[in-house]
């Protein structure tokens, strides 16, 4: 009799335990479902904020959707400070010497080939609109969070000045091969760079070539305006080479973003889409294709303007976005950057530039040519006192030079992992 009661008690205990476990599983599932629903709503809300109503949509051969959005409806105007902003349709001034420099470039021995964006083959945006690459659900889901979508990882800083502590140099696995100037007041920079499609080892890595306009310290208050080309599977979902811009006023913490993925940059151009694929790209021992980028501060209005190529004035970053750059830049950088996310001290095989070292020269290595700065009198001038920097020259390197056709130039890049770079 006693043993039967004991057996029943054990059975009841076991059943209670099973129900408890089932209850916990059910609660976990419900919490997970609730969390999933919350994330889905958050993503949808973010997409509605980013993807403005389109006048026309163009499907690019690479699968991108380019929305032609009325200029006054672009994401920039989500910023409270831009609520009553009157769009400036052209800069008050171009830098002096810009058009002379273009004539010199046309006479250069290696003339650049024409370059376009892939979506152009299927149409163009009407006047009064700007092309915006549509953000898709899966684009946002690849980010670490909805809030971080379209932003660089915190502390993804460019290289510090020569006086910086060595332990600041290689943060977050970012590696560089750059030329730079510092020690003066700079009001802009220009360069022509050839365009490649470097291979990326892992989706969370990227490879880019760009110019940096920098102000402030390399601490929490860094101001940066950046423009160039990049391959970033995490951001775009593919390995295409794309035109991009970036800005931050607090060292990549809470302000700024790529392209038009937040309020800030005001685009006025209807021909070029930020974040869209560039086509064609350079090939090893074959045709070379390059792009020119100029970023300068309008002496009258104080905004930072960007020009792509010889004629596409893209738009501007309003001066109020910045603290230090509201006045001038204290450092300019040109060159390449990759992310090395390999663990245990190993090195990624993600390529920088063409994936070949600088000493291979034209047609094989990647280059920046006609690098210039804008001075306080709004003149384009050759930079003085150019320095170079790379963390691991056996992985990625940089070599400078100058001549009559290319002005100040440098070759840069490399393959990443190789017998000398493990």
Which residues have a catalytic role annotated? 226, 337
DSSP labels for 25-92? HHHHHHHHHHHHHHHHHHHHHHHHHHSPPEEEEEE-TTS-EEEEEEGGGSGGGGSGGGTTPPP--S-S
Q: Under the phi-then-psi rule, with left for phi > 0, alpha for psi from -120 to 50, and beta for the rest, what region is 282?
A: beta
DSSP labels for 291-330? EEEEEEE-TTT-PEEEEETTTEEEEEE-GGG-SGGGT-EE
Q: At 24, phi and psi to the nearest 5?
A: -65, -40
Contact 319, 301 (CB under 8 A): yes
CA distance 283 to 354: 8
Q: How many helices (H) and strands (E) in the chain? A: 4, 20
Find out whether the peptide bond into 347 is cis, omega within 30 degrees of 0. Answer: no
How far is CA 380 from each of CA 102, 112, 227, rounded to the nearest angstrom?
Answer: 12, 21, 18
Q: Under the phi-then-psi rule, with left for phi > 0, alpha for psi from -120 to 50, and beta for the rest, what region is 237?
A: left
> 164 Cβ partners below 8 Å, 6+ apart?
218
Q: What is the DSSP letter of 10?
A: H
SS3 410: strand
Q: What is the DSSP letter of 359?
A: G
End-to-end Cα, the chain, rounded Å: 75
Tokens representing 24? Answer: 């916990």
CA angle 86, 90, 94 (to 5 degrees): 135
CA distance 191 to 294: 7
């Amino acid at each position: 009799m006693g043993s039967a009661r004991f057996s029943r008690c054990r059975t009841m205990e076991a059943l209670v335990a099973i129900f408890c476990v089932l209850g916990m599983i059910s609660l976990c599932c419900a919490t997970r479902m609730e969390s999933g629903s919350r994330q889905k709503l958050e993503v949808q809300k973010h997409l509605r904020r980013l993807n403005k109503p389109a006048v026309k949509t163009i499907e690019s051969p690479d699968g991108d959707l380019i929305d032609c959005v009325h200029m006054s409806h672009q994401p920039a105007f989500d910023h409270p400070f831009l609520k009553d902003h009157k769009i400036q349709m052209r800069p008050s001034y171009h830098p002096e010497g810009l058009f002379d420099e273009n004539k010199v470039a046309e006479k250069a021995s290696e003339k650049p080939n024409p370059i376009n964006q892939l979506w152009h083959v299927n149409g163009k945006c009407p006047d009064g609109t700007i092309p915006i690459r549509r953000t898709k659900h899966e684009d946002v889901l690849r980010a670490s969070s909805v809030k971080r979508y379209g932003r660089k990882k915190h502390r993804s800083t460019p290289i510090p000045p020569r006086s910086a502590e060595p332990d600041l140099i290689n943060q977050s696995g970012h590696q560089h091969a750059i030329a730079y100037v510092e020690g003066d007041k700079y009001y802009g920079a220009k360069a022509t760079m050839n365009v490649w499609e470097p291979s990326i080892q892992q989706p969370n890595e990227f490879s880019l070539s760009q110019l940096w306009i920098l102000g402030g310290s390399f601490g929490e208050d860094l101001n940066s305006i950046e423009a160039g080309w990049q391959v970033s599977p995490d951001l775009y979902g593919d390995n295409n080479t794309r035109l991009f811009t970036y800005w931050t006023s607090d060292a990549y913490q809470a302000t700024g973003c790529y392209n038009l993925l937040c309020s800030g940059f005001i685009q006025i151009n209807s021909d070029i889409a930020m974040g869209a694929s560039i086509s064609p790209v350079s090939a090893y021992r074959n045709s070379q294709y390059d792009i020119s980028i100029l970023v300068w501060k309008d002496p009258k209005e104080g905004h930072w303007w960007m020009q792509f190529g010889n004629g596409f004035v893209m738009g501007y970053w309003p001066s109020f976005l910045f603290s230090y750059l509201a006045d001038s830049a204290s450092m300019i950088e040109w060159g390449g950057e990759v992310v090395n996310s390999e663990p245990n001290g190993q090195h990624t095989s993600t390529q920088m530039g063409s994936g070949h070292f600088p000493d291979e020269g034209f047609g094989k290595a990647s280059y920046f040519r006609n690098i210039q700065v804008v001075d306080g009198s709004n003149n384009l001038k050759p930079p003085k006192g150019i320095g170079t920097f790379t963390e691991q020259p056996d992985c990625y390197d940089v070599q400078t030079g100058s001549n009559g056709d290319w002005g100040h130039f440098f070759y840069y890049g490399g393959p990443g992992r190789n017998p000398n770079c493990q």
